[in-house]
A and B are shown apart, each in its own frame.
Chain A
Amino acid sequence: MASIVGYGAYVPRYRIKVEEIAKIWGKEAASISSGLYVFEKSVPGMDEDTATISVEAARRAVKSAGIDPKGIEAIYVGSESHPYAVKPTATIVAEAIEATPVLTAADYEFACKAGTAGLQNCIALVDSNMIQYGMAIGTDVSQAAPGDALEYTAAAGGAAFIVGKEGIATINDTVSFTTDTPDFWRREGSPYPGHGGRFTGEPAYFKHITNAAKMLMERCGTKPSDYDYAVFHQPNGKFPSRVAKMLGFEKEQIKDSLLCPWIGNTYSGSSMVGLAAVMDVAQPDQRIIVVSYGSGAGSDAFDITVTDKIEGIQRQGIREMLEDKEYVDYGTYMKLRGEFT
């Protein structure tokens, strides 16, 4: 199987606190925060979108990999908030990292697992010797209707992973569990998503992640305690802990990837930014399990072993990057989101 050769992540620096949003709608901030285990979420600047965030993450990934971008022969950007409905984000990224013109590119959509779907494709292309390097990006500037429960968590951010033959972490196996489950969606032309409320839990998030995780561990002959880190999709701060427990993982194993309480749910960025945070601290020979989740629905699971090459690269310092933040009030939040223009 292929390897991760480089990685990068970017989260816009603006934040809005749960209490700031709750205040507007006359809700109890404390109970929302404890219910969701989310305190604040990231907000994109007025001039930021899925393309700009993807470019930031991609540029950092290229720098970390230390490769000539012309060697990147496939770029996939997964998102549910591409700037265009028709015209790929992937080509904008390709041009911005100077990987053009010899490459294949496309955009992916599969709710929050669009990025990991692209990652699977890159693995296949590298494994089959069709390309030298492939880049998979998961980014979103998620939309939520004002006043909806999702408003507390819909956030912005993205991560990029470069896949090649040999690198800082070997991807041992990947497997997916996919069904047609309408738990969360957004209609063409509609600015905001719809969802099935509590239906997004058991029959959706939990069912797909647990099935994909179990399938992967069976194939790899592993059990939860074999992993040093577990990265699950983070729609809020609670679900990853619950699904970890359901599968037999410990809190210790998910803590390094758990960023949602402080940046919210970056949708297609969620598991990939979580994995990037783990790559920042992982040591050679440590093992990582990543299970993403995308509404609609499906989970991609990955079994990864860190190599000693990780000691040779510059870590991205994602948690440090997240410290550089600026809080905005609700009015500014709406202005930044472009709700007034």
Chain B
Amino acid sequence: MGVARYWREIPQRYNLIGTKCSVCGTIYFPPRAICPNCRRKSAGKMEDYKLKGTGTVESFTIIRVPPPEFEGKSPYAIALIKMDEGCHLTGQIVDCNLEDIHIGMKVEACFRRIQEDGKRGAIYYGYKFRKAKE
């Protein structure tokens, strides 16, 4: 992934900035240009919206055969998370025993290192999730 490609999405990767359809109020993450409910009525009417960062685990898995960018970092957990705002996203769950992860677990976003472009390239930061504080 080139640096421009990563940089472009920093608001999403660092701060979970999605979009809200100002016509029907639905919140989307990642951002959308058009609302699937409102279609052309929503063109130009999608506003930036920052997610709270909290959500619930809808499903999860433990990756044991990682892709090349994640060599040496497995096993790690990937989860399908339903954010409190209603939209879903995919992310890693960290800072807990892999066996303790369960469907229904409450999680909150945290800022972590995701990937690096080798030893000489850029470092890509973004969101991962950890168990939510009570």
Contact = CB atoms under 8 A, between A and B. Distances in A.
Contacts of A92: 125
A341 B71 CA distance: 8
A164 to B, nearest CB: 23
Nearest to B10: A95
**Residue of B10, B71, B125 ringed by the most chain A CB atoms within 10 A:** B125
Interface in B51-84: 71-73
Contact of B113 (A47, A87, A98): A47
Contacts of A340: 72
Interface string B32-54: 00000000000000000000000
Interface in A288-341: 335, 338, 340-341
A19 B72 CA distance: 26
A49 to B, nearest CB: 6
B112 A47 contact: yes
A55 B95 contact: no
Given A45-B95, A47-B128, A96-B15, A52 B72 contact: no
A189 to B, nearest CB: 12
A48 B123 contact: no
A52 B123 contact: no
Interface residues of A, number: 22
B61 to A, nearest CB: 18
B87 interface: no
A181 B47 CA distance: 56
A47 B111 CA distance: 9
A47 B94 contact: yes
Interface in B1-22: 10, 14-15
B110 interface: yes
Given A52-B112, A95-B10, A46 B125 contact: no
Contacts of B15: 95-96, 98
A48 B113 contact: yes
Contacts of B95: 13, 45
Contact of B125 (A13, A52, A338): A52
B114 A341 contact: no
Given A45-B95, A340-B72, A95 B14 contact: yes
A51 interface: yes
The range of chain B's interface size is 10 to 19
Contacts of B72: 335, 338, 340-341
A51 B14 CA distance: 12
B14 A96 contact: yes
Contacts of B110: 52, 56
A98 B71 CA distance: 32
A83 interface: yes
A240 B71 CA distance: 41
Nearest to A84: B123
Q: Which of B10, B94, B111, B113 has the most CB of A within 10 A?
A: B111
A137 to B, nearest CB: 13
Interface string B83-110: 0000000001011000000000000001
B112 A48 contact: yes
Nearest to B115: A47
A48 B130 CA distance: 13
A62 to B, nearest CB: 12
B113 A52 contact: yes
Nearest to A92: B125
Identify the interface centre among B71, B94, B112: most chain A CB within 10 Å of its CB: B112
B111 A52 contact: yes
Nearest to B123: A83
Nearest to A98: B15
B123 A47 contact: no
Nearest to A44: B113
Contacts of A48: 112-113
A51 B72 CA distance: 21
Contacts of B122: 87
A220 B47 CA distance: 53
A319 to B, nearest CB: 15
A294 B128 CA distance: 33
5 contacts: A13-B95, A45-B94, A51-B113, A52-B113, A335-B72
